[in-house]
Structure 1
């Protein structure tokens, strides 16, 4: 992950945002490219996998993170549209939920509200 962060800095002026997050068998780090935030995920144990596609292929993009200003309103709207929501988590800094990829064009979306600043869509 350190090498990836260094490459992002050197090639497209990407900067690490916040602290590296250790979450069980995963390490997470956010990078900022202009107004775009990219989440890097480093797996630390066998068995973690990306979503499976047809014919045993593996997705290259596991999920996309979308910052929102009001997650509760976003959840209500997505539910109204028939999107299945799963894996909700709330901390002092963020509140987020994932969509079931079968209901969002084959890609898991992570909708994230940051508690300290409204920086989403």
Structure 2
């Protein structure tokens, strides 16, 4: 019986080391959050894989559409509401480079928002 306890302890240590090793190898890339009203004429710096999360304030998250000039550098994802969760519109950085983004709102009278996304490795 004394053999079972050290083996069990060893298995726990090996399992924890494996979990810690997995977590350490995957860096966490936090999103950049900006209010849509603050984006006009600005440059947003992102790293490859990072996302710009656009806060639409009082306007519906699904009321914005976006066009990215160079879709090889970044892509626009529209906002949506799904299963009680709200997902803001965003821009995901795909590759190093610079591109212009134009956001439009389907509600009449709202000016387009134009800004630049610069992506680095």
Name the TM-score, length of structure 2 as normaliser: 0.26
Looking at both structures, which has the greater relative contact order when contacts are Cα pairs under 8 Å and sequence separation is at least 6? Answer: 2
Name the TM-score, length of structure 1 as normaliser: 0.26
Greater radius of gyration (CA): 2
